[in-house]
């Protein structure tokens, strides 16, 4: 699943007229880069969620024959659901009765790390959720045990922690990279969280869900063993860096 529904308010004026997912990066729309990366990793079926200028994304995919992929649209035109709510809405398009893992990728994350290595590690460990993480500066950090099990989160600016009694001293701080792999075992827990915590059909972010479900799901961080490029193109400054790095 590619999360492409974001408004991209920090990328104005481009996003006054276009969806953030189609912002050019090195001469190629971000969404196209993500889809081609997934295709190279032998992903054949993709769900793309849309909200802001969703019709432009539909037209872009149609005009490019979905880049040879089986692409389905999860329409959030009426209400932007954030990552957790968006995943929940798309569940019926993602669940196919098998136990095949599902890759989740933010459209505004441009990276060239080897997805296949992450897929192999996810299946080898039998974990429910694998998160791309890095030892990178960020005001919000996830915290992991030595075996990379998720144990907590902290906003370094405000000092807010989750869980509140979490002792961070001996844990490894890591920044989330906007790419994750989930197993279908996650969906019953996701539905329970939506029903019991945030309310059915309400927008919610997926990170608070992961923190809530730490005792219910196996959630591990994945650190690629080799150097790779990674950019969040959510601001003009970051977009300029990615544009230079991925110029074709």
pLDDT in tens, 77-135: 999 999 999 999 999 999 888 889 999 999 999 999 999 999 999 999 999 999 999 99
pLDDT value, residue 174:
97
Per-residue confidence band for 248, with pLDDT thresholds at 50, 70 and 90: low
pTM of the full predicted structure?
0.94
Is residue 105 within 8 Å of residue 69, measured between CB atoms? no
pLDDT higher than 70, residue 180: yes
Whether pLDDT at 43 is above 80: yes
d(CA 178, CA 82): 13
Average pLDDT, the chain: 94
Cβ-Cβ contacts under 8 Å for 230 (sequence gap 6 or more): 109, 110, 111, 113, 134, 136, 177
Residue from 17, 78, 13, 92 nearest 50 by CA: 78
Predicted confidence at residue 124, as pLDDT, reads 93
Q: Cis bond leading into 15, ω under 30°?
A: no
Look at the block and give the residue holding tokens 């460990």: 125
Pairing assessment for the beta strands 230-232 and 140-144 based on DSSP bridges: unpaired
- Span 205-226, pLDDT tens digits: 999 999 999 999 999 999 999 9
User: Residue 66, class by beta-carbon neighbours within 10 Å (0-12 exposed, 13-18 middle, 19+ buried)?
Assistant: middle
For residues 132-150, give the mean pLDDT.
95
Given a cut of 90, whether residue 169 has pLDDT beyond it is: no
Q: Would you state the pLDDT for residue 97?
A: 80
Percent of the chain with pLDDT over 70: 100
DSSP assignment letter at 194: I
Counting every residue written for the chain, the total comes to 248
- Is a pLDDT exceeding 70 seen at residue 149? yes
Query: What is the pLDDT at residue 199?
Result: 86
Report residue 168's pLDDT band, with 50, 70 and 90 as the boundaries.
Answer: confident
pLDDT score, position 51: 97
């Amino acid at each position: 699943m590619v999360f492409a529904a974001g408004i991209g308010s920090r990328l104005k004026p481009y996003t006054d007229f276009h969806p953030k997912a189609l912002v050019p990066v090195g001469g190629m729309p971000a969404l196209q880069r993500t889809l081609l990366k997934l295709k190279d990793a032998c992903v054949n079926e993709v769900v793309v969620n849309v909200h802001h200028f969703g019709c432009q994304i539909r037209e872009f995919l149609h005009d490019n024959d979905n880049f040879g992929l089986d692409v389905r649209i999860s329409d959030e035109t009426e209400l932007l659901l954030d990552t957790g709510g968006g995943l929940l809405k798309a569940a019926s398009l993602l669940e196919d009765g098998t136990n095949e893992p599902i890759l989740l990728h933010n459209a505004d994350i441009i990276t060239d790390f080897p997805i296949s290595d992450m897929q192999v590690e996810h299946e080898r460990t039998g974990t429910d959720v694998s998160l791309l993480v890095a030892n990178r500066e960020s005001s919000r950090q996830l915290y992991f045990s030595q075996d990379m099990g998720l144990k907590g989160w902290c906003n370094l600016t405000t000092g807010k922690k989750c869980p509140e009694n979490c002792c961070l001293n001996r844990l490894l701080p890591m920044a989330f990279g906007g790419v994750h792999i989930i197993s279908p075992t996650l969906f019953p827990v996701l539905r329970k969280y939506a029903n019991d915590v945030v309310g059915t059909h309400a927008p919610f972010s997926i990170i608070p869900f992961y923190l809530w479900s730490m005792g219910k799901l196996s959630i591990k961080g994945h650190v690629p063993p080799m150097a790779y490029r990674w950019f969040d193109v959510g601001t003009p400054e970051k977009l300029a860096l990615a544009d230079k790095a991925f110029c074709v």
